[in-house]
Amino acid sequence: MIKSIYEAHFDGKNVLVRVDFNVPMDANRNITDDTRVLETLPTIDKIIDDGGLPILCSHLGRPKGTRDEKYSLAPVAKLLEDKYGYKVFFANDCIGETAKKAIADAELGSIVLLENLRFYKGETDNDPEFSKALASLGDIYVNDAFGAAHRAHASVVGAAELFSERFAGKLMKAELLSLSKATSNPAKPYTVIIGGAKISGKIDVIRNLMNICDNILIGGGMMFTFFKAQGLEIGKSILEEDKIDLAKELLELAQHSKVNLVLPIDTVTADSFSNDAATSIVKVNSIKSDKLGMDIGPETCKLFADIISQAKTIVWNGPMGVFEMENFANGTFQIAQAIAQATSRGAFSVIGGGDSVSAIKKTKLDREVSHISTGGGASLEYLEGKELPGVKALE
């Protein structure tokens, strides 16, 4: 049983909170998307309102156990102060005297942000000594970093297990509730939409969800590996040569199970990988050898939208085409629209994976779906049926 922060009382306590502030930044270290920070604010506010002191710890990027200022969390401290109005005590280290001093200096109503956990190799190694040093900073542990829950790291597992009181933050709890709704007794019909460039990262998701869903709609670059497995000409389209046999296996598996695995029937092809390329819409069995597929076609959009419109549970991971290029974004946006419409009619919808989240935000439909997962790899592993170390550590 995992307790949420709403079952806790933080009055007078130092609360070590694992957050996911692994935010994207531009070359000048300006934060380009602060969604992950925004999503954690209710957990921070609950601790402050209770009279506790939130001590936030996170990773940023992959500094590989060495201090590298380009991965410093200082811009996040500035964002929390300038945009969200918190008084932030930024510790230039995540353990030791520097961290302890920031905590001692912080007054109630403020927050402490520790420097990047991954400046220490002990974080990714789940080192017991590093875990102890981190755990010594707080009286209570909260994990609100679902995006890191699939990592058996010190701040996620080792340190967590040293606390007698540990809780899931609001974001963590919301992720677990939504994803469990999509995996445990989901409302039927249940439709899964899988896209993106490669089958590689999605194999286990497809396999696991085949056991519980009714329809799997395949789009994105991965569709061409399936077409190749069927002996079709795919021209210069993206192909995972080493996954052709696996695609065949998944097609056979779908035939023998009760799931309806649906591949696109038409595609938008181009003569080069460019937004300005000359395009044509062709049936998937008519792709020319000198062309490459860039998006699902209009007939596929209609076919997929019809299936989505019947669904009571929808999971979407991965775009339908090269949506970053305006001329090849239509398929992805049409699917986003269909999911939003199905949700408005009562379907439960979960959007996961960075590109799907970006796409639904671009369409301004992010408020029209049931749940947008911030989890990335953690969401995928949950949908694969794997136990997440960070979730287990909270039990």
Q: Which of 61, 201, 354, 385 is catalytic?
A: 354
User: What's the token pair of residue 78?
Assistant: 């500035």
Q: Which of 373, 378, 336, 367 is nearest to 351 (CA)?
A: 373
214-228 burial by CB neighbour count: b if 16+ within 10 A, else e? bbbbbbbbbbbbbbb
Q: Which of 65, 377, 385, 392 is catalytic?
A: 377
Q: Which of 13, 18, 36, 151 is catalytic?
A: 36
**Could you give the CA distance from residue 293 to residue 221 in angstroms, rounded to a whole number?**
8
Specify the amino acid at residue 264. Answer: P
- 85: annotated active-site residue: no
User: What's the token pair of residue 347?
Assistant: 């379907």
Site of tokens 């598996």? 253
Contacts of 386 (CB under 8 A, 6+ apart): 150, 204
Q: Which of 181, 198, 207, 312 is catalytic?
A: 198
**Could you give the CA distance from residue 225 to residue 197 in angstroms, rounded to a whole number?**
10
Q: Three-state secondary structure along 180-213? A: HHCCCCCCCCEEEEECCCCCHHHHHHHHHHHCCC
- 377: annotated active-site residue: yes
- 166: annotated active-site residue: no
**Could you give the CA distance from residue 56 to residue 40 in angstroms, rounded to a whole number?**
10
User: What's the token pair of residue 33?
Assistant: 């998307």
**Could you give the CA distance from residue 262 to residue 203 in angstroms, rounded to a whole number?**
16
- 321: annotated active-site residue: no
| Catalytic residue annotation | 36, 198, 354, 377
